[in-house]
Amino acid sequence: MARRRITEVFPFLLPLRQWQKKLFFYTKMKFDGNKYAQEKSKDLLPYKVYELDSLMVNRNSGFDIKYQLNKVHNIKLAASNIDSLVIRPNETFSFWKLIRHADKYEPYKDGLDLVNGKIEGSYGGGLCQLSNDLFWMFLHTPLTIVERHSHTVQNIPPATEDLLVGVDATISEGWKDLKVKNETKYTFQIVITFDGEYMHGSILSNEKPKFNYEIFNRDIKYYRENQKIIQESSVCCNRVDNMTQENREILLYKNRCAIGYKLPENTRVLEKGE
C-alpha cells in the first residue's frame, strides 16, 4: 500500500504546505544564478520563428462547459503577463515567475485541474493549456528547455484528432515550472493574442531563423499495466537548415503517461511484455 502524504492524513495542513513550497520555490529562483526574462516591449521583433492557433474550448472534455469557459478567462489573465515578453541572450523564461501575480487585481475562476489523480474544478484551473502551447512553440525554436514536466495521467481527450502526443508541459506553483534558456546570440519575443475561439501565439526574433523545426511522433504504443492503460511515445524533431536544406532528425525525449479516458475503438492496446 502506498504511503499517504501527511496532508492527506491531516488536510488542514495543506494550505501551510502550499505556502511553504511556494516560499522555497521562489527563494530558490532568487539565488539560482539565472537571469529571468521580465522585460516587455510594444515594439515587435521583425522575424517570425513560429506561430500557432490554439482552440480554447474543448467540447469533448466530458465535463460541464462552464469549466472550459472559466479556463479561457484564466488563460487570458495569465497570458497578459507573458504577451510581448522579450527573452535576451542568457536570459531564462519561467512560467511561474511571470504569472505569479496575474490574479492580483482580477481573480481566477474555477477550471479543471488534476487533483490527487482526479479531474475536478479548482481555482485557476486550466492554465496547463497555456503552458502546453508555450512548450509547443519553444520546441520550434533554438531555445533550450531546462525544465518541463509531463502529465502523469491524461484524463481529457484531445480537442482535435490531429494533435501529437507527449508534447504537454504541466505546471504546479511551488512544484513544477516550465523554463527555457536563451543560449543563443539572438533575442526572442513571445506574442499572445485572442479572438472568439482561438489563442494565437508567436515567437519572434531579431534575426531570420536559421532552422525550421518539424516535431513528430515515433513509436506510439499503448499497453496495460496494473489495470491502467499506459501510453508511450517518442517525440522527435526534423531540423532543417534554411540555407542548405540539410535535414537532421533528433530524438528530443521519450514520454510516458497513463490514459484516463476511453480510447477510440480501433486503438491497439498491448499486454505488458508484447
pLDDT in tens, 118-144: 778 889 999 999 999 999 999 999 999
- Is residue 266 classed exposed, middle or buried when 0-12, 13-18 and 19+ CB atoms within 10 A define those classes? exposed
Listed in sequence order, the residues at least 6 apart from 37 whose beta carbon sits closer than 8 Å to its beta carbon are 85, 86, 87, 88, 91, 92, 93, 94, 98, 182
CB 164 within 8 A of CB 216: yes
Name residue, grid cell 513509436: 219
- pLDDT at position 2 is 54
- pLDDT at position 51 is 97
C-alpha cell at 268: 491497439
- pLDDT at position 274 is 61
Q: What is the side-by-side strand order in the sheet with 247-259?
A: 153-154, 247-259, 228-241, 211-225, 269-271
- pLDDT at position 260 is 86
Q: What's the average model confidence in pLDDT over 2-31?
A: 78
H or E segment to which residue 252 belongs: strand 247-259
179-181 vs 144-147, strand pairing mode: antiparallel
Three-state DSSP at 134 gives helix
Query: Which percentage of the chain shows pLDDT scores above 70?
Result: 91
How many whole angstroms separate alpha carbon 82 and alpha carbon 94?
Answer: 10
Cα dihedral 87/89/93/97 (nearest 10) = -90
Higher pLDDT, 59 or 234: 234
How many whole angstroms separate alpha carbon 211 and alpha carbon 245?
Answer: 9
- pLDDT at position 264 is 86
Cα dihedral 151/156/162/168 (nearest 10) = -20
- Read off the pLDDT of residues 238-262 as tens digits, 9 standing for 90 and up: 999 999 999 999 999 999 999 988 8
CA 107 from chain center: how many Å?
21
How many whole angstroms separate alpha carbon 115 and alpha carbon 67?
Answer: 15
- pLDDT at position 13 is 67
- pLDDT at position 1 is 46
Q: Which residues are 202's β-sheet partners?
A: 51, 191
- pLDDT at position 94 is 98
In 10 A of CB 80, how many CB atoms?
Answer: 13
Q: What is the mean pLDDT of the chain?
A: 91
Q: What is the pTM of this model?
A: 0.91
- pLDDT at position 5 is 67
